[in-house]
Chains A and B, each alone.
Chain A
């Protein structure tokens, strides 16, 4: 909503304002900007104009964090409160006196804070200019001289000590990395995996079973599993050349039930070699 005063004094809020609020470092910064664009005296704030424009700005903003959003909202609340007081004149007989004592105090406080902030901002700009001048000047930043034998303690602060301590602790943490290990590989599982694969295909490549990442443990386990399967007569393995690919083939005679094998460790499997066969026949039929 725009009061007649607002439209008369300034460009309408919906057309004239193009500045994004993100570029303002705080609510006072935004308020100061609005005062300046309206050529407003900081000791004679026009609350109607400023409140409307401030709120219009807020609507177009997405805040990065709650804290910043909060500070902008607090200012908005103050402005709305003050503006609400304007709508209800404290003394109806005297049209000039629009705010009651509390409102007047709030307004003065706001004006004082704005003036203070304007000073800070100007000083910040001054510092910025000085900093820019200093970037053209180069001096030594580290000494060639050996460090003094006694450390000058006056330059040390609690903060630096705390930092140093924190850094030490973090270094300690980094030294012992927490290792996330996968479940230990099991030869038996790998065996049943291979048997499962051999059910649907006649031949397998060793590398495809062991994994392309060439993790040492994987390869060792796969090789052990393969050797065990060969020993049990479940599979055959061929390696055409030294260090070449190993081709694993299903042993034509039989494919055992892998579940059965997990239950019965292959080490003690030998004497019962005949036993599982009927079962495996069953499962093949099913």
Chain B
């Protein structure tokens, strides 16, 4: 009989998507997801201690077995290709907006970026970085977009809380000195300017709320 921890390793090895703690619990008949999590952690510890080429990564609400970054040069050689497709700058910026404001409609994204985002959104949908979350009850009933699990996996994020906080971690050097002034700015004025930016988006709360909703 294999050890239970070996089975956990095999589960992570065989799956193409992150395996949730609850799924491990289900497969192994454990009493709680917490036990599954403990098992994964001991597997992680074992792999790290042995200095193996694989590591456990917590990403997209589950666990994956992935190679360590140090191995990358050999894998590149094996693949005979250096190129792994990366997202363009407009795509990354659009993802940034959706990441923080989701669910968000195209007009809102357009207003922040100052350009039409049709093609970019199409591309992100195609790559399954975002998906349609529904329709906004505003004129034209535009689609609402939200990020997907693939997005979290592609960027190595456990969940949306891993995104940097706008006011805290995300420090823009040019903004550093104005940030304080901005925080002390009276609220109503802030809302007024935001509403003026796009009359269609008079949704209270969507203006200032930049903390990602954990869904």
Contacts and interface: CB of A to CB of B under 8 A. Distances in A.
B46 interface: no
B75 interface: yes
A163 B127 CA distance: 12
A29 B89 CA distance: 11
B194 A159 contact: no
B131 A159 contact: yes
B14 A144 contact: yes
A126 B168 CA distance: 14
Contacts of A28: 113-114
Interface of A is mostly: helix
B174 A71 contact: no
Given A123-B170, A127-B95, A138-B75, A26 B182 contact: no
Given A43-B178, A134-B156, A141 B16 contact: yes
B155 to A, nearest CB: 4
B213 interface: no
A128 interface: yes
B90 interface: yes
B9 interface: no
A68 B113 CA distance: 12
B200 interface: no
Nearest to B91: A124
A115 B175 contact: yes
A77 B180 CA distance: 31
A120 B113 contact: yes
Interface stretch (A106-114, A177-185, A204-212, A238-246): A106-114
A135 B84 contact: yes
B34 interface: no
Contact of A113 (B15, B93, B114, B157): B114
A157 B131 contact: yes
Interface of B: 13-17, 57, 64-69, 71-72, 75, 84, 86-87, 89-90, 92-93, 95-97, 99-100, 111-116, 125-126, 131-132, 149, 154-157, 163-164, 166, 170-172, 174-175, 177-178, 181-182, 189-190, 192-194, 196-197
12 contacts: A41-B177, A71-B114, A71-B115, A109-B193, A116-B112, A122-B175, A123-B100, A123-B164, A123-B166, A124-B93, A135-B84, A135-B86
